[in-house]
Structure 1
């Protein structure tokens, strides 16, 4: 605890007279640097979290958060497994699907496609087609002989709702290699903004896909959507316990491991870069405190002669440095959260001032900014630790002042 005298002395050093204005200016620069560094950390973490949340929402609404597969990628009784999954706490919906790879052709153009067969009753209520998550042109493929395509795939094929395309499958029979072509009508085009979906996905009634594949497989996997993805690990454990051995559960993160590894690396790189800015600001705090000790060396010598202890001297200068740093940290939090709250008006204003705003601005408008209390606590704790550390050397230097030597030469 500080004594009344130490508090008074610390406040006097924080607001120096004419002789200490240079030190005050340097301290203000250090304070501003910490403010900018903390605000940048808040915004960078918020943007990276927002990108992950947005991506999670897009992927989950397209396919689900979890994917349950049976032995040899076959689920013999999907209805029973679906009911079991939907009875688990935290599961919002479970949808069985039959998946395969094939070729889609239209107008002389052919592209590889991921074929997915789903029950028509489940297609109509899917976020893909009920308008709750994605944009769709046309209608859901609930009738036999219809299909829906990802928007990028439809653009490359040059087709739209109402057109026809052929699904080509290669199979082996007793006579060797055989090629089957199946003509289907395009009922709808879906845009999810997930490249892997929009560029390759073809959705159709599961009975049509069974006929195309000439298989009696009922389903290859069950897509599970969660009510709260934060509790994903608990739901995975419950699914494994209820279904028993023989079933595997994959998460949307593991299915997109390459993408999320890249996101994690980008977040780490951005955080390190912004941390270096904050570190430079902390060095300014250190230099300002060293200059303050230099400017006040005569006053320190007089106070030491009057009986002030080395410990008390060091404590006063630590308090001064911490006060400078914490003011900058608090200002940085206010600035960071202020910019976070004003993201939409700022982005809209910049977009309005430009004749041809880049697409990145539209992405920014739809990107949520998310930061957890734990991440805020980490930022505050690490910056506070850096502030305290940067004040130790100047405080020890002030405590080491020799009153006799200083007063002799002044």
Structure 2
């Protein structure tokens, strides 16, 4: 497409002489602007992909994938429903739970919390049992009133394994003095650390039979929680099978429905950030236009001489297009390298910035992740690179067209 003569002239125009240094400075800033824009966009999108993937994996590791609950109070025939659900293909595990909200009191502090009643055998294979950070999970027992709570909740109440925690249920029991809320005092057997703030700060696991008595469901449960083989995939076939096996009168919802607003907000934020940061590349592309227009004006006599020596308008257009496009391509390539290297070494860079500044750049207490995640999606990187090169090409078209349309007679009239 470009012959050796056009490439040679374009290369000479890129290496500006001393008297053309100002044009060279503008071109250098244009190249640097595109490089920074491309690198920033790659880094930000990788970090947001990392956040989304990390949060998704943690939620899917702790939350039930599908929940079957009774529309009325309590699910009484849950053993039959549980057997039907366990027989479905794609269902890994089914656990009955009795869950409710109540008032927590300990060490003079009061707060609300989520109490979930589970069977002992279900607790031992739950994520909470695998993430115990203090205490003895084997003391989770109805006879000893042993419970397991989130470590952030224990920290807020100043509790340690062996301490007492009182729970007041919203349901009431009839007494000679009238209806009074049901209360129960528990002993903290252990604490868990799931790495998900919502659970670590408010969730309490208690034995199933105690929860049934506190919430007044008799021998029933409030829900059946299912885990499936591919929770991140298409759940519609599994949902249809679960709804059919559960029967009428039961509500079925999956994690995508219960967390739809959360992940939609993350996706909207990703798209908005992509749009905003793309403006950096567009600003750099405008710099290319300005530098190329100044170069065309400065090279007017050279263009006229080339035209009189037989160079066509197409030749002039290709020379200046190649000059401007080279700035965009080099800047995009530099930005791609910087962005990928930054993402690959983001934890080391974070540590270096924290040591130099003395500030905590990424506080796990705020973001609830132990390290700064960055996952490169090569499709997105390809889109960023294509956008950088495409905007650079578009920015070069008008100055190159102006150069090709320059009249040699007008350019040499006053020389």
TM-score above 0.5, yes or no: yes
1:342 equivalent in structure 2: 345
Deviations 1:147-173 (A, max 9, x none): 111223223322221112222123356
Deviations 1:288-346 (A, max 9, x none): 11122122222212222233332332233222222211111111111011111111222
1:52 equivalenced with 2:52 (yes/no): yes
More displaced stretch, 112-121 vs 250-259: 250-259
Q: 1:323 aligns with which of 323, 326, 329?
A: 326
Q: Please give the alpha-carbon distance, in whole angstroms, between the structure 2 residues aligned to 1:229 and 1:19.
A: 65
Q: Please give the alpha-carbon distance, in whole angstroms, between the structure 2 residues aligned to 1:93 and 1:310.
A: 73
1:385 equivalent in structure 2: 390
Q: Please give the alpha-carbon distance, in whole angstroms, between the structure 2 residues aligned to 1:14 and 1:307.
A: 23
Q: Please give the alpha-carbon distance, in whole angstroms, between the structure 2 residues aligned to 1:7 and 1:249.
A: 66
Where do 1:156-235 residues align within 5 Å? 156-171=156-171, 177-216=179-218, 218-225=220-227, 230-231=232-233, 234-235=234-235
1:296 equivalenced with 2:304 (yes/no): no
TM (normalized to structure 1)? 0.86
Where do 1:138-157 residues align within 5 Å? 138-140=135-137, 142-144=140-142, 145-157=145-157
CA positional deviation for 1:394: 0.7
Using a 3 Å threshold, how does the CA distance of structure 1 residues 381 and 115 change in structure 2: closer, same or farther?
Answer: same
Listed as ranges, the gaps of 5+ residues in structure 1 are none
1:105 equivalent in structure 2: 105
Q: Please give the alpha-carbon distance, in whole angstroms, between the structure 2 residues aligned to 1:330 and 1:227.
A: 41
Q: Please give the alpha-carbon distance, in whole angstroms, between the structure 2 residues aligned to 1:369 and 1:292.
A: 41
Q: Please give the alpha-carbon distance, in whole angstroms, between the structure 1 residues aligned to 2:319 and 2:102.
A: 74
Q: Please give the alpha-carbon distance, in whole angstroms, between the structure 2 residues aligned to 1:95 and 1:378.
A: 44
1:278 equivalent in structure 2: 281
Where do 1:77-88 residues align within 5 Å? 77-84=80-87, 87-88=89-90
- The DSSP-based 3-state class of the residue aligned with 1:368 is coil
- The DSSP-based 3-state class of the residue aligned with 1:170 is strand
CA positional deviation for 1:203: 0.9
Q: Please give the alpha-carbon distance, in whole angstroms, between the structure 2 residues aligned to 1:226 and 1:307.
A: 73
Q: Please give the alpha-carbon distance, in whole angstroms, between the structure 1 residues aligned to 2:404 and 2:252.
A: 62
1:366 equivalent in structure 2: 371
- The DSSP-based 3-state class of the residue aligned with 2:166 is strand
CA positional deviation for 1:36: 0.7
CA positional deviation for 1:40: 0.6
More displaced stretch, 146-155 vs 175-184: 175-184
Using a 3 Å threshold, how does the CA distance of structure 1 residues 297 and 280 change in structure 2: closer, same or farther?
Answer: same
2:96 equivalent in structure 1: 96
1:118 equivalent in structure 2: 118
State whether residues 47 and 374 of structure 2, in contact with CA within 8 Å, keep that contact through their aligned partners in structure 1. yes
State whether residues 343 and 376 of structure 2, in contact with CA within 8 Å, keep that contact through their aligned partners in structure 1. no
CA positional deviation for 1:356: 7.2
Using a 3 Å threshold, how does the CA distance of structure 1 residues 369 and 217 change in structure 2: closer, same or farther?
Answer: farther
Deviations 1:350-398 (A, max 9, x none): 4455767466278676132013122112212222221121112111111
Using a 3 Å threshold, how does the CA distance of structure 1 residues 249 and 27 change in structure 2: closer, same or farther?
Answer: farther
TM (normalized to structure 2)? 0.85
CA positional deviation for 1:34: 0.7
More displaced stretch, 190-199 vs 171-180: 171-180
More displaced stretch, 36-45 vs 157-166: 157-166
- The DSSP-based 3-state class of the residue aligned with 1:128 is helix
State whether residues 173 and 182 of structure 2, in contact with CA within 8 Å, keep that contact through their aligned partners in structure 1. no
More displaced stretch, 69-78 vs 142-151: 69-78
Deviations 1:109-167 (A, max 9, x none): 33211111222222112222213xxx522133642122111223223322221112222
Using a 3 Å threshold, how does the CA distance of structure 1 residues 179 and 280 change in structure 2: closer, same or farther?
Answer: same
State whether residues 346 and 372 of structure 2, in contact with CA within 8 Å, keep that contact through their aligned partners in structure 1. no
1:240 equivalenced with 2:243 (yes/no): no
CA positional deviation for 1:205: 2.2
Using a 3 Å threshold, how does the CA distance of structure 1 residues 229 and 291 change in structure 2: closer, same or farther?
Answer: farther
Using a 3 Å threshold, how does the CA distance of structure 1 residues 328 and 201 change in structure 2: closer, same or farther?
Answer: same
CA positional deviation for 1:275: 2.1
Q: Please give the alpha-carbon distance, in whole angstroms, between the structure 1 residues aligned to 2:302 and 2:370.
A: 55
2:71 equivalent in structure 1: 72
